[in-house]
Chains A and B, each alone.
Chain A
């Protein structure tokens, strides 16, 4: 098996802070559900048992998820930018490798939500004319992301034409 030529994973890992960012973000979104259930359980006497049961299920699923998923994701997520292409590997249970040739890049975006700003992270979105949608590199240090965008825009500018 190791004899064959294989596509090696992209070299760069995302920023380690991304783990905490993912944990926080998942904790927040699951926390909202848990809090709503808890409040309802407190308020609605007759349905208390069932609401608490639902809350229990949510917690049993969410807590391991909040801990495991980000760590796993961190091990999987990788990216690399060469002179020719952008490579990414994303996902955790389901993983996706994507390669966007530089000569096909249409737009380069960065986006930082409030939580990402708190962790000084940034995500880079690279759109191509592909129907598969844009490539996203999430959880980059925001300064690194800015440099990366700068580099990507310069390389894509060097590629003339409409890139399809």
Chain B
């Protein structure tokens, strides 16, 4: 180990071992099918095997060298004021982040890293760029060090969140797994399975054999029956896959509050622990995808600057803090995450009835004969107009023991710009026109965080909702009303506050 100046620390040296094993594993995975493919002619296996092993060794050695240099020339330090990261081999880089700016600390570990007791630390600030350098990443450090950094970086004196529920907000309920197959991942995984079979069989020049096998297995079926059988198989595979994915991602899921910050831990093989500073939380989203909505479920995302982009190496957004769960659970978690029952209880006012009626009319105009279905979609589409639902009160309070308290001063909400009613209508029209597709791609629905008096002329919007001469429709659409009461959601996630 090179001598370090005061306070500077290095990454963990075992990173080299992990890198070599990873590279060698990938290469072996690539080499084996190639070898089998080449061996088709019945050649001697030894020379080919030797060549392959030599190749793997050489490439692994190069990887080991590069990673060693990376390890030796990367240092970081955490001072009272800032975190600094230096890298100086071929390219010289220095990165400095004031500790005040840190919003999230994300610890991830893949199975190999876990075996070696390592973890990758991603320290996030509010930047929006998507390039790889958008976080300060320590890849990897000792697990204990990572944990220590996580606590250190987001523990601030005078935490403003004394009123918040301590301890556990949510933990995995295995019954939630029933929502896992009802998502786009199921058909995607099913199709991917077929694709993989075709691809692999092509490598081995066995595509014809695969087709013959399928023919043989379903001899008695007609062409339509064959397609049907394949679709069923695909769906089954997709369901199994999405169940597996759910287990991998959400195993040992816990959402807790620690030092006033949100801490989410989860993962079976790849583990992740995300710490999000409560002060930086701008709101939460209750997201009801098409499928889970039909089962009365929703997931919860957080709204925070710097959390918008998907991380490259994960299947879900880091901003998802609750997987699809029964609506009441999602609602309770959303309320508790905000730390302010007021946000979903007292301060909610009705969805502007004018907008609702207008949409119904818009649908009538558009699709005569599409009647109830169109109307329901329009009513579901409650995201556009601002304003909130007073009936949410009863629901929000339920199942949220101890979550009551003063609205948390630190959570500064951002409310979107006031809507021009005409614009709202146009947007509504567009949505109605595209309603089916629209819902499939996880239409987001947000619960606003508690308002600051200076944020927005809320009263204006309330008034808007009570325009004289507009009647609230109460037909026999139970879904309509249930959604209105339970969903309650509007307000655009925190934008407009991030301009540099």
Contacts and interface: CB of A to CB of B under 8 A. Distances in A.
A153 B96 CA distance: 7
B94 A149 contact: yes
Contact of A127 (B93, B94, B127, B499): B127
Contacts of A156: 98, 101
A130 B500 contact: yes
B90 A109 contact: no
**A127, A149, A162: most-surrounded residue (chain B CB, <10 A):** A162
B3 interface: no
B93 A129 contact: no
Given A106-B125, A162-B103, A129 B306 contact: yes
Interface extent on A, as a size class?
20 to 34
Contacts of B92: 110-112, 117, 122
B90 A163 contact: no
Interface string B87-126: 0001111111110110100000000000000000000011
A116 to B, nearest CB: 8
B133 interface: yes
Nearest to A98: B500
A128 B136 CA distance: 14
A162 B278 CA distance: 12
Contact of A129 (B126, B133, B136): B126
A113 B92 CA distance: 6
Contacts of A157: 81-82, 98, 100
A162 B280 CA distance: 8
Interface in B383-405: none
Given A106-B101, A162-B279, A134 B91 contact: no
A130 B103 CA distance: 16
Contacts of B223: none
**B82, B96, B101, B306: most-surrounded residue (chain A CB, <10 A):** B101
A128 B90 CA distance: 27
Nearest to A152: B96
Interface in A115-144: 117, 122, 127-134
Contacts of B500: 100-101, 104-105, 128-130, 132
A109 B136 CA distance: 10
A164 B96 contact: no
B305 interface: yes
A24 to B, nearest CB: 17
Contacts of B98: 153, 156-157
A129 B500 CA distance: 6
A17 B200 CA distance: 55
Given A101-B500, A109-B133, A163-B101, A134 B93 contact: no
Interface in A55-103: 100-101
A46 interface: no
B311 interface: no
A160 interface: yes
A99 to B, nearest CB: 9
Interface in B163-181: none
Contact of A130 (B93, B95, B279, B499): B499
A131 B498 contact: yes
B97 A106 contact: yes
A113 B87 CA distance: 11
Contact of A164 (B94, B133, B497): B497
A108 B96 contact: yes
A160 B94 CA distance: 22
Given A162-B101, A162-B305, 17 more contacts: A107-B96, A109-B94, A110-B92, A122-B92, A127-B125, A127-B127, A127-B134, A129-B127, A129-B128, A129-B306, A129-B500, A133-B128, A149-B96, A162-B100, A162-B125, A164-B305, A164-B497
Interface of B: 81-82, 90-98, 100-101, 103, 125-129, 133-134, 136, 279-280, 305-306, 497-500
20 contacts: A104-B500, A106-B97, A106-B126, A107-B95, A107-B97, A107-B101, A110-B92, A113-B90, A117-B92, A129-B500, A130-B499, A133-B128, A134-B129, A157-B81, A159-B100, A162-B126, A162-B305, A163-B100, A164-B305, A164-B498
